[in-house]
Each structure stands twice: as C-alpha cells, then as structure tokens.
Structure 1
C-alpha cells in the first residue's frame, strides 16, 4: 500500500503542536526582550537575544520533528541499549567537569556555541528504554524479581546522577513515569503499592534533607510569609494574573516582565501570557495541551503492539507531568520545581526533546492509520472477490 502524506498523518496533532510552539516563540520574545537589554547573558544588551536563540532551536526542532514523524518507531527497540548508554555518558559528563553551571546547579553541557541539558534527553530516553524492556516482560510481569525489579536498578542509577546535579523536579518526574509504565505493563497491585510507598518515602526524605528544597516545597502554601525571598516569584506571578484579567493588557504590555518577575520567559512564562493575553490566552495554551494529550491517549489505545502502546502512553504521561507541574507551580497549587512549560518556555533542549517526543507519537499514529487502511482495503477485496 502506497504511503499517503495527506491520509496517513495525524494532522490535528501536528498542527496543534506547531501552533503552540510558534506561539511559544512569540511569547518568549515578548517576555524576555527587557531582560535581553538589561540582563542578557554576557551583557549582550540585545532585546532580540532570547528570540533569536529560541527561533534557531525552533527551526532545528522542526527538522527533527519532520524526520522522526516519518521514522519507524519500532527501530527504537533496537536502539534502546545505545540510547541508555548515551544517557549515562551524558549525565556523567555533566558531573565530571564538562558541565556548565547556572542557577546554582550543574545541569548543562557546553558544546561550543550549543548548550544542552542532558536530563531533558534522558527523560525521553528512559521512556523508550522502559517501554522496550517492559514490553518484553509481559509474560512474567507478575513476578517482582524477574519482571519488575531489573529495570528499576537502571532507573535508580539515573535518578542518582540527576539528583547530583541537582535536579529534583526532573528526577521526580522520571520516577513518576516509571511507576506509570509499570502500572500499564500489568504489574500486581501489591508490587505497585510497595513501589508507591518506597517512592513516597524517598521523596519526603530528599525534600527534608536539603533546607533550600524544603523551603521551596513549603513556601507555595504561604508565599506572603517570606515575600522578598522564597515567596517573591509566586507573589509576582499572582500580580501578573491579577493584572491580566480576562483579555489581558495586550501583547507586549506586561509590567511584571520589567524585571519584577524572576524567570519570566522560562518557568513563569504562563504568568506573562495571562497578563498580556488574559485568561483567554491561558485557555488557548491549556486547550492545545488538551488536544495533544487526548490525541496521544487515542494513539496509545489504538496501537496494537505492546512497545508502541507503552511508548505512546509514556510520552503522554511525561508531557502531562510537565504541564501539571508547571501550571500548578505558577498558580500556587503545587511547589515550584523549576520544570518549564513544554513547547512554550524558553529553552532549546526542552523544545527539541518535546518536539521529538510528539513526533514519535505522530509516527505511531501514522502506523495505526496505515494498519487501519490496510485492514479496510483487505475487507473491500474480500467483499468484491
């Protein structure tokens, strides 16, 4: 059966992704040009600094998206060991002197003019690895030692390497996705409950162990108790939401981006969207995520292979975690974790990995559509025979 570019692609998913990513580039510029003038990296004094960098990443991500949406996702099963090794190497390089520091953490690799955050790529790598290994363990997934435990050792090592950066938000997100994939793989409830208790205990222990982390996790409940330090970012975000109202002050009209709101173009870009475009702008963003996540769930349900189904659901859940963590933090419903808003916030690594992840979803969808078309063609041939 010939490949049809029009019929075999999930256009609702694809168009929604590019609409949201394009909107993200626009909002990165709107929320960052003041910082580009006064606080640009290296004292650039260039209002277009962040726009130019994000636009380049968007073009690069578009190329990768077009490649991976036509890439046979089944090949990732064979590439899984290589991806896993590359994940460990990249995380190790960050910690042994090749990493660059920012915001008090060592999370980036500086490769000439390119600055990458390996943990962003590792998140996708772990989804691919877990989907591959647990799709092969369906026969004995009910056995903890043989079925559930071995991949958890690998996840534990990755968790430790990411925590050493430190990056508590990303490490926690990987653990949550791991639990979700194990659940979908058909693990027994006693095993799931045990893993849930261990994970919760680990989360609480690590949160309490570091004073700065504990303050960040608790300050969201009452930011006004420390308005000039731990509560500053959230309070300024509240002001942005209140200032925007229903329709906003207009594109470019934000006051909070005038160096009042920290991380206005990254973690708290949704607050600037709310201030400039109002609740309607926020609803547009949430609506786009709703379409992407809904299409991802449908793709996972319709996929006939265990690997493809687990891979689709893993990508969807990973994306959902990031969206919930970011929106929850900006709205004051969850602690501030430093997780950016996918496809919208400034950050090349995050944009690139998110676009690749959704391109893999598009590839799985393309396979589903072609299988459905083939089945219909066969049924028509039988009827006409």
Structure 2
C-alpha cells in the first residue's frame, strides 16, 4: 500500500486556523477558576459540599455549547442583528424590574428565574451593547467623526440601558459598560475634544451617583482606609489583604487557605482573587494576570488585523470585547488588593456565577470566530468552522 504525506494545504484543512493562544489562555483561566471555586466553596454547605462546584460545571457546559453555536455564526450576521440584540437586552432589563418577575438577593433585583437557572440580563446586555455600538460605528462612521450628534446618539441609548441597570442596582456593571462604550467610540474616531467632554460628563455622573447613595459613598471611603472600620465597612477588604499577606511568594498551598473558611465573605465570587493570592501567592496572581493579558493582547491583535483588511465591524467588536474583559478583570483585581472601592464584579472566566461564566465564554468564542474569518475568508460563505 502506498502512503503519502499530507500536504500543507491538506493539513490546514484538518487543523482549523484558530487563535490557539487565546483558546489556551481562556481554558487555563476556566480550569484554574474551577479549581479555586471548589477550594473556596466546599466548606460553605456541609451537607452538600459540591453544590457550588456542580452549578459551576453546569455553567461551563452551557457556555461551551453556546460557544460552539457562536463559532458557527458569521460575523456579518452579528452586524445585522445589532439593533435587535440591543432592544432584546433592553426588554430583559425592564423585565427584571417587573414585580413578581425579578428575583431579589442581597438587596438587588438582577435575576429572572427560569426554572433551575437565573438569567442575569445585565451580563448579556454588556455583550449586546458591544455588538450594537460596533455596528453603529460602521454605519455612521463619518457622522461619528465629524458631528457632535454622531456620538451623542449612541450615548443616549447607552444612558437608557445604564439607567435600568442602576435601578437594580448594579453600579459595577454600569461602570464597565460605560467605560467599554467610551473606549469603542474613541477607537471609532470620536474627536479628542468630544471624547474629553464625554469622559467629564460620565465621570461627573458616576461621582454624583456615589454622593447621592450613602452605601456607595461608604464603599468608596472604606477602601481608602479599611483598617479605620475593620469590623464593618472595611471588613471585606481587610480580610482580602490579610489573605494576600499570608500567601507571600508562593502561597500556603491549594486548599490550605484560612481566610476563605472563616473570614472572607463571597470568597468564591467577588474575592476569588484573594483566595488565589493566599493559596498560590504572588506567583499565582501573576499567572492569572498574564493569562488575562494574553486574552486582551489577542483581542486587540485580532482587531488590528481586521482593521487592516477593512473589516471595521469585526475590528470594533474585537476591541470592545478586549476592553470589556480587560477592564472587568482589572476592576475585580483592583478591588481585591484595595486599589479600587468594592464594586461587586466577578472575575471573568473564573468566579462562581453562571451568567458571568457563560457570557465570558461567548466572548472568547466571538473572538475566535473573528480571527478564523480573517484567516479563512471562505468561512464567510461556508457559514461555520470547517
């Protein structure tokens, strides 16, 4: 029997042109997050120690299925669906505020019960808003660059969505959406003076929201000196800082952390990074930071490649997704180490929280699809990863 080696072209058909550094970084964060959620949560429910980890695994499974679907949808279809997605997201944000529909927990109404699953509409609105603004920047490119009204219009729609999110209330998500949208508008060609005014107005609004709300003001002042009221407003941050201090260079070892067991609230969600710092030390935290840096780098690399071949929509989506994941990770880490006031944001791809995990995995899948289409333009016609 005669055997022959596969040609380079045939090998490329067997192994799809995917962004493997991005995929490996995302899988690394998911895997480490799964381990750390297990470590931080198994003691919380003594008669059901696997409760949180089982739900986390279900979220990852749903995110994987959603990611497979996303990779089969051409980027052009996302562009056409942008306005519809925005209004779907707006409807979900309004639905969660309807009495008897939205579920309340810890003083916030952010979830729509769907049987065993709770839908957090604000998480999906982040994704929908990125897609909508990217499409708007393509459709109104000259208007955005030359007219004040060109960048005011998307901001008005953004204000509507953020106002509904603030009613829940969810200050952290509002901050991420505003920052991501402003970054996209800047990259989309908004003149610098208009961008400066936009930042001033957004900053003034956020400061006003803090000053008008006693509990937000308490959070902002507490992070400046958590030791001043260590038993009350500064408790979470103080315990997180103790966790990082105990970890030193290489940590106390997986599962050996003490802060998560007795002292640190929400260790498996908002303060998962503190658990990583205690159990894996500075080395572990730097590994996590490096993996997020890889994801942001690959997102911006994909965006620049798309822009070079005049795929503007794909470029703006990639930029927006990279900005979003990077900023949310930075804010979460900043909160954990005391650089920023407590926001209640999860660490993307890692913290416990079904909606957050699912949406973050969809983001990675969208970046993979954009990169794939840039490598294989024929995929646009074929409609899937071959």
TM-score scaled to structure 1, two decimals? 0.92
1:236 is aligned to 239
Shift of 1:101: 1.0
1:207 is aligned to 210
Q: In the alignment, which of 76, 81, 97 is matched to residue 79 of structure 1?
A: 81
CA distance in 1, matches of 2:326, 2:45: 30
Shift of 1:343: 0.6
CA distance in 1, matches of 2:51, 2:16: 40
Shift of 1:281: 1.3
Shift of 1:145: 4.5
Unaligned runs of 5+ in 2: 1-8, 381-386
Deviations 1:342-362 (A, max 9, x none): 111000100000000111011
Deviations 1:302-339 (A, max 9, x none): 00311110000000000111011000000001111011
2:341 is aligned to 335
Q: In the alignment, which of 151, 155, 158 is matched to residue 152 of structure 1?
A: 155
Residues 1:198 and 2:194 aligned together: no
**Equivalence map 1:33-48=2 (5 Å):** 33-37=42-46, 45-48=47-50
1:13 is aligned to 22
Does the CA-based 8 Å contact 2:293-2:326 persist in structure 1?
Answer: no
Does the CA-based 8 Å contact 2:373-2:379 persist in structure 1?
Answer: no
Q: In the alignment, which of 152, 170, 185 is matched to residue 173 of structure 2?
A: 170
3-state secondary structure, aligned to 2:112: strand
**Equivalence map 1:299-310=2 (5 Å):** 299-303=302-306, 304=309, 305-310=311-316
3-state secondary structure, aligned to 2:141: coil
CA distance in 2, matches of 1:54, 1:85: 29
CA distance in 2, matches of 1:275, 1:146: 50
- 338-347 vs 11-20, which moves further: 11-20
3-state secondary structure, aligned to 1:340: coil
Q: In the alignment, which of 230, 254, 259 is matched to residue 256 of structure 1?
A: 259
**Equivalence map 1:324-363=2 (5 Å):** 324-363=330-369
Q: In the alignment, which of 113, 116, 134 is matched to residue 113 of structure 1?
A: 116
- 221-230 vs 75-84, which moves further: 75-84
Shift of 1:193: 1.4
Residues 1:280 and 2:286 aligned together: no
- Supply the RMSD in Å over aligned alpha carbons: 1.8
Residues 1:135 and 2:141 aligned together: no
Does the CA-based 8 Å contact 2:40-2:275 persist in structure 1?
Answer: yes
3-state secondary structure, aligned to 2:357: helix
CA distance in 2, matches of 1:152, 1:164: 18
3-state secondary structure, aligned to 2:179: helix
CA distance in 1, matches of 2:219, 2:44: 24
CA distance in 2, matches of 1:286, 1:31: 19
3-state secondary structure, aligned to 1:141: helix
3-state secondary structure, aligned to 1:109: strand
Deviations 1:150-190 (A, max 9, x none): 21111010011000000011111111111111101111122
Does the CA-based 8 Å contact 2:148-2:194 persist in structure 1?
Answer: no
Unaligned runs of 5+ in 1: 38-44, 375-385
3-state secondary structure, aligned to 2:158: helix
* Matched residues, number: 367
1:370 is aligned to 376
Shift of 1:84: 1.1
Does the CA-based 8 Å contact 2:302-2:370 persist in structure 1?
Answer: yes
CA distance in 1, matches of 2:147, 2:347: 35
3-state secondary structure, aligned to 1:246: coil
CA distance in 1, matches of 2:262, 2:107: 20
1:217 is aligned to 220
1:30 is aligned to 39
2:59 is aligned to 57
Shift of 1:372: 11
Does the CA-based 8 Å contact 1:34-1:259 persist in structure 2?
Answer: no
3-state secondary structure, aligned to 1:196: helix
CA distance in 2, matches of 1:163, 1:281: 34
